[in-house]
Amino acid sequence: KMHNDNVANYTLDEKVILVTGAGDGIGKEAALTFARAGATVILLGRTTSKLEAVYDEIVANGSPEPAIVPLDMKGATFSHYQGLCATIIEQFGRLDGLLHNASLLGVLSPFEHIDHGNWHDVMQVNVTAQFLMTQALLPALKKAQHASVVFTSSGVGRKGRAFWGPYSVSKFATEGLAQVMADEYEGSSIRVNVINPGATRTAMRARAYPAEDRNKLKTPADIMPTYLYLMSDASLDVNGQSLDAQ
């Protein structure tokens, strides 16, 4: 087993980590967890009130003061991400971690009825925005002694499934983007890996499986060891992996 299940075993002291979709679900838990481990967390998401609630909780925990970046990745352009990079370098000097967590489930439907606008939105948020953001943030990532970029996949990003249309295709693209980057940056200060969270108790999961008993699902907190591991120096030699969260 590559990593230890005890979250107390990882420190993120002095690290600056950006989490997308940090207002809810797995991203919220990751932001709280990284902050508790000592990181200064940059909270990016589209609903400011949710980001503010996470900010307050981090400060109340006595963790390093986070930063808030309200941004809708559906409409954001490369220049928004370049501005973000400049702000990060100005305020923090570097970016040690980037967790691409935000994504859109979109509409589950038969292939024949996939809505073209929905296809485009899911690809934009889940693939194109993540590519643009990562490329724009490279100057900040390169200023870190070691930088960890983590993408979020899904079971349907490894094996296609009926009715999961654009979401499934977007997660295959996520795995592909991560593999291309990992191969290219192998041996550099930047490592790139993927987490498949598995079925987890969040609003997105409830939308995809409205009839299931959500109390039987693992919680976001249950899967944090893998997130901490990939952000910490314990994974310095890990690159190009796609891990199932545990």
Residues near ligand NDP, by CB under 6 A: 21, 23-27, 45-47, 50, 72-74, 101-104, 125, 152, 154, 197, 199-200, 202-205
- Cα 146 → chain centroid: 18
As annotated, the active-site residues are 167
Residue 110 Cα to chain centre, angstroms = 28
Name the DSSP class of 61: T
Work out the angle at residue 214's Cα, subtended by the Cα atoms of residues 213 and 220, and round it to the nearest 5 degrees: 160
Q: State the nearest-atom distance from the C-beta of 216 to ligand NDP, in Å.
A: 12
Residue whose CB is less far from ligand NDP, 47 or 189: 47
Instruction: Write down the least CB distance from residue 187 to ligand NDP, Å.
Output: 28
In this complex, which beta carbon is closest to ligand NDP, that of residue 45 or of residue 66?
Answer: 45
Q: How far is the CB of 142 from ligand NDP (least distance, A)?
A: 24
- Are 157 and 196 in contact, with CB atoms under 8 Å apart? yes
- In the complex, the smallest distance separating the C-beta of residue 118 from ligand NDP, rounded to whole angstroms, is 13
Give the C-alpha separation, 115 to 95, whole Å: 37
145 token code pair: 């002694």
Tell me the residue number closest to ligand NDP, measured at CB: 25
Nearer to ligand NDP, 148 or 200 (CB): 200
35 contacts 58 by C-beta, under 8 angstroms: yes
66 or 197: CB nearest ligand NDP: 197
Residue 23: CB minimum distance to ligand NDP, A: 4
CB 185 within 8 A of CB 239: yes
What is the full DSSP assignment across 135-177?
HHHHHHHHTSSSEEEEEE--GGGTS--TT-HHHHHHHHHHHHH
Nearer residue to ligand NDP within complex by CB, 125 or 192: 125
